[in-house]
């Protein structure tokens, strides 16, 4: 049976804690929109340029095993804010529904403890937070007044860095801050050909194993890199602003993304490229840089980590585990857990009656086990449209060439139905193309991981394990009417004009 470990060092809010004695840090949380873990310079990508991300990794730690709680925006972000898995969050655990006010979020807890809190760009969502009673996005009050007069490609005109500077100007003297930088990049849509036009070479791209190796796909990946670099440039400006103010050394900086890259067989699917995320963390005053950490990190760990760093007691409802002790350790730290979990329900309006695709995954260091609760449904949405895959040149190419021998197996993996159980050896198959669940040689692994997943989901009161899972199908889906995600249409109908899901 899997049990929740206690926090190292005792209660986070204890008066004698080392954090409380040395002062509270500022917190800068930077989250890109749809970026898999391979897509940074620090991770070894030779094409994309991410000097700001790489700098944070050099000043602190690069995590090689960080995983979002869901491969979709809204449930992943809700898990970050609450420190709980999506299946513990009712409507907030699915896409474009309400974010119930009853769930405590770490920005509010920090604000109550004297932190100055703010947000620019995309926070929680897409979700109808106003309809649920929130005065502002659960990630914090918005600072979005500064816009860029000129922009490249299809990126947002939000001048994220300028809005961060405005936030700092409004901060009360002496108050620590907590800021959420939520870039809309590299979310679809992209300006087609923008990556190649910038001077990047098609020949330099390393195509993921689940995508066809064609000029169209390579160009699409270059456009994806172009948007990552836009996000990173704003992060670099924020780091410089803090450095110029003398605040960087006492700022806990966390840089990541909400879910995997917007390509077939990644975003919105419980696959390695859908849930494995980039993560770099630094706090120069408190721990040395240049570290590489392989501990299994879940996005539900961010909230308790921030709260512990601020000397605030972690609510008992939080499921995540603070990894602050790992950051502050001076030697090798013991592994905190054997597994992390991820799962999904509804993503887009991809099936009749807003039906989702209920799926849960268990990721160990070497294997990914996936349980699909409705294998009769299509994971990517009903055939013809496959709305759970964002429109793109890559999607179009795969649909048009699906019957070609080189494309067919990749199309089946990204667009086809999946069996009830999947098991992948991530060491040999990070593309999740060879399902081992039915192979006798892997029966012991499959059986144990299924039992462990059922045990932990039951402990967490996942409705899918308690016989009440269809409650997720009853939650309304609201169509966002504008980018601030505050206004919503009352109908749950699919809105094809809303591109940044």
Cα dihedral 88, 93, 98, 101 in deg (nearest 10) = 30
Q: Does domain 341-466 have CATH number 3.30.1120.10?
A: yes
C-alpha 380/C-alpha 267 separation (Å) is 10
Beta bridge partners of 252: 27
CA 420 to centroid of chain Cα atoms: 25
H-type helices in 420-482, by residue range?
443-459, 463-466, 471-474
Q: Are 79 and 68 in contact (CB under 8 A)?
A: yes
Query: Peptide bond preceding 80: is omega within 30 degrees of 0, i.e. cis?
Result: no
Burial of 269 (C-beta count, 10 Å sphere; 0-12/13-18/19+): buried
Per-residue pLDDT, 11: 30
pTM of the model: 0.92
Tell me if the bond preceding 44 is cis, omega within 30° of 0: no
Tell me, yes or no, if the two domains 22-333 and 341-466 fold the same way.
no
- pLDDT at 429 (0 to 100): 98
Q: What pLDDT is recorded for position 149?
A: 79
CATH topology of domain 22-333: Alkaline Phosphatase, subunit A (3.40.720)
Provide the pLDDT for residue 428: 98
The tens place of each residue's pLDDT in the chain, 501 residues long, gives 333 332 222 233 333 333 443 489 999 999 999 999 999 999 999 999 999 999 999 999 999 999 999 999 999 999 999 999 999 999 999 999 999 999 999 999 999 999 999 999 999 999 999 999 999 999 999 999 999 976 666 899 999 999 999 999 999 999 999 999 999 999 999 999 999 999 999 999 999 999 999 999 999 999 999 999 999 999 999 999 999 999 999 999 999 999 999 999 999 999 999 999 999 999 999 999 999 999 999 999 999 999 999 999 999 999 999 999 999 988 776 778 999 999 999 999 899 888 999 999 999 999 999 999 999 999 999 999 999 999 999 999 999 999 999 999 999 999 999 999 999 999 999 999 999 999 999 999 999 999 999 999 999 999 999 999 999 999 999 875 343 334 444 333 333 333 333
Domain boundaries, the chain: 22-333, 341-466
Q: Is 277 left (phi over 0), alpha (psi -120 to 50) or beta?
A: beta
- Placement of tokens 């889906």 in the chain: 477
């Amino acid at each position: 049976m899997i049990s929740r470990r206690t926090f190292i060092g005792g209660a986070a809010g204890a008066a004698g804690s080392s954090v409380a004695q040395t002062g509270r840090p500022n917190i800068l949380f930077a989250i890109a929109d749809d970026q898999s873990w391979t897509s940074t310079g620090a991770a070894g990508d030779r094409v994309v340029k991410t000097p700001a991300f790489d700098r944070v990794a050099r000043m602190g730690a690069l995590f090689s095993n960080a995983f979002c709680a869901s491969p979709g925006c809204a449930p992943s972000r809700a898990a970050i804010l609450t420190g709980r898995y999506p299946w513990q969050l009712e409507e907030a655990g699915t896409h474009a529904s309400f974010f119930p006010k009853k769930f405590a979020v770490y920005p509010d807890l920090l604000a109550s403890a004297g932190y100055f809190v703010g947000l620019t760009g995309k926070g929680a969502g897409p979700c109808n937070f106003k309809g649920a009673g929130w005065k502002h996005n659960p990630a914090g009050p918005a600072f979005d007044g500064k816009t860029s007069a000129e922009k490249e490609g299809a990126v947002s005109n939000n001048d994220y860095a300028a809005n961060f500077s405005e936030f700092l100007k409004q901060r009360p003297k002496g108050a620590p801050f907590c800021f959420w930088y939520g870039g809309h990049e590299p979310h679809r849509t992209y300006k087609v050909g923008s990556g190649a036009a910038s001077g990047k070479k098609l020949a330099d791209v390393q195509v993921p194993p689940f995508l066809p190796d064609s000029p169209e796909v390579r160009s699409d990946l270059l456009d994806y890199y172009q948007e990552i670099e836009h996000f990173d440039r704003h992060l670099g400006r924020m780091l410089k602003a803090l450095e110029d103010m003398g605040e960087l050394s006492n700022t806990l900086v966390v840089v990541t993304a909400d879910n995997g890259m917007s390509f077939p067989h990644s975003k919105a699917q419980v696959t390695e490229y859908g849930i494995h995320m980039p993560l770099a963390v630094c706090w120069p005053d408190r721990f040395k840089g240049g570290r590489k950490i392989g501990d299994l990190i879940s996005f539900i760990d961010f909230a308790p980590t921030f709260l512990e760093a601020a000397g605030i007691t972690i609510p008992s409802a939080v499921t995540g585990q603070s990894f602050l002790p790992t950051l502050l350790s001076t030697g090798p730290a013991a592994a905190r857990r054997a597994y992390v979990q991820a799962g999904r329900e509804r993503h887009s309006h991809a099936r009749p009656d807003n039906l989702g695709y209920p799926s849960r995954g268990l990721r160990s260091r070497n294997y990914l086990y996936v349980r699909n609760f409705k294998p009769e449904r299509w994971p990517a949405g009903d055939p013809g449209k496959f709305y759970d895959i964002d429109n793109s040149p890559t999607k179009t190419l795969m649909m048009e060439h699906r019957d070609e021998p080189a494309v067919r197996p990749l199309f089946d993996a990204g667009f086809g139905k999946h069996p009830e159980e999947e098991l992948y050896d991530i060491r040999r198959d990070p593309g999740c193309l060879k399902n081992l669940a039915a192979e006798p040689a892997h029966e012991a692994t499959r059986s144990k991981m299924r039992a462990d997943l059922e045990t932990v989901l039951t402990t967490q009161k996942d409705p899918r394990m308690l016989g009440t899972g269809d409650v997720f199908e009853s939650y309304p889906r609201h169509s966002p009417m504008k980018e601030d995600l505050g206004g919503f249409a009352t109908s749950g109908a699919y809105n094809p004009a809303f591109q940044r899901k």
